[in-house]
Every structure is written in structure tokens, then in C-alpha cells.
Amino acid sequence: MAITATFQITPAKLPQVVQEIFEVTSSQAELTPRSVEKLTELAKANTLAVVYDGDLLIGWAAVEKLTKNLSEIGMVYLKPEFRSAEAFNALMQLVARRKDTYLLATYDQSLIRYVKTVWNAKETNLLGAIIRSKGKFITKRLNSESRKAIKTRLKETKPSYAIVGRK
């Protein structure tokens, strides 16, 4: 099948796509969950990127505005059975077409290496992420679902951060 990535989710598919993303992100400790309402808002704003193998949803990423000049790339995920360079590149190339300046926070070192190599990102630390986002990065994580997910992941690994300047 053909791998495709898009920000355009048809209205007929929207409830099913949002529900599937919600269920996956809520059930896996390595993902920070978003509510159905937040996912729907992202999709309607064309800031929820989805990748398909044919008609099958295989992954996604969100672009969430933190400040006027900074967006966060979040929820980058490919279902394990569909993880491939082709699927990953399709998703990341779609996100790269936007002109946002991005903050990326991840526990996945391969994602940091990718954005440093392909997008010429600059690695930073938590304080840098907080300062660059004018505190929005940290306040976004104050809800109980986010805190629970972060606490679980911090037991196993530490996050890395990068800033991607886009013009």
C-alpha cells in the first residue's frame, strides 16, 4: 500500500481518527494523552498530522501553538507494526512543510538525531524550552494526565529538547 501523510482529515473520518488516537495515547505510558476535545480541535485547525498506509491510520503528530512565534511538535507516534523510514519520513516531511519555529521534547533519541541532522535543529534543555516558550511549555503539562505520563517515563529515561528554526 501507499504511505501518505496529511493534515486534512475528512469530516466523516474525524470522530474515528480522534477516538483511535485518544485510545492509543491514553493507554501507553510513553505518550502524553490529549482529550478527545483537544484532538478534535487540533484536527479542525489542520494541526494534527496523520499518516496512513492505504486507508489504515498508522501514525500521527500534533503541532500545538505555544506562543505567537513557537509551536511544539508533540505526540509523534507510529504504530510499532508500521514503523519504517518511509512512514516516519512521510510524517516528518509533512510537519516540516509548515513555517513554524518548533520546540520538540521527546524521550526518543532517534527523533532528536533526526531533527538535528535533517532540520538543523539546536539541542536545548528544559530551562531553554521553558524560556523560549515563555513558560507555556511547562504550564501545558500541569494537568494530572500529563503529570502521570511524565512521571512514569522519567523512571526509565530522561527527555531531550530541540529548537527548530523555520522561515
Burial of 90 (0-12, 13-18, 19+ CB in 10 A): buried
Number of domains within the chain? 1
pLDDT at position 151, please? 62
pLDDT at position 158, please? 81
pLDDT at position 157, please? 72
pLDDT at position 125, please? 93
pLDDT at position 166, please? 62
pLDDT at position 31, please? 76
Three-class SS state of 3: strand
Three-class SS state of 162: strand
| pLDDT mean for each 10 residues of the chain (167 residues) | 93 96 86 90 97 96 94 93 94 91 89 90 94 90 62 70 81
90 residue type, one letter: A
**CATH at 112:** 3.40.630.30
Q: How many CA atoms lie within 13 A of 137 on its CB side?
A: 23
pLDDT at position 109, please? 87
Q: Which domain does 25 fall in, by range?
A: 3-164
pLDDT at position 52, please? 97
- Cβ contact 71:99 at 8 Å: no
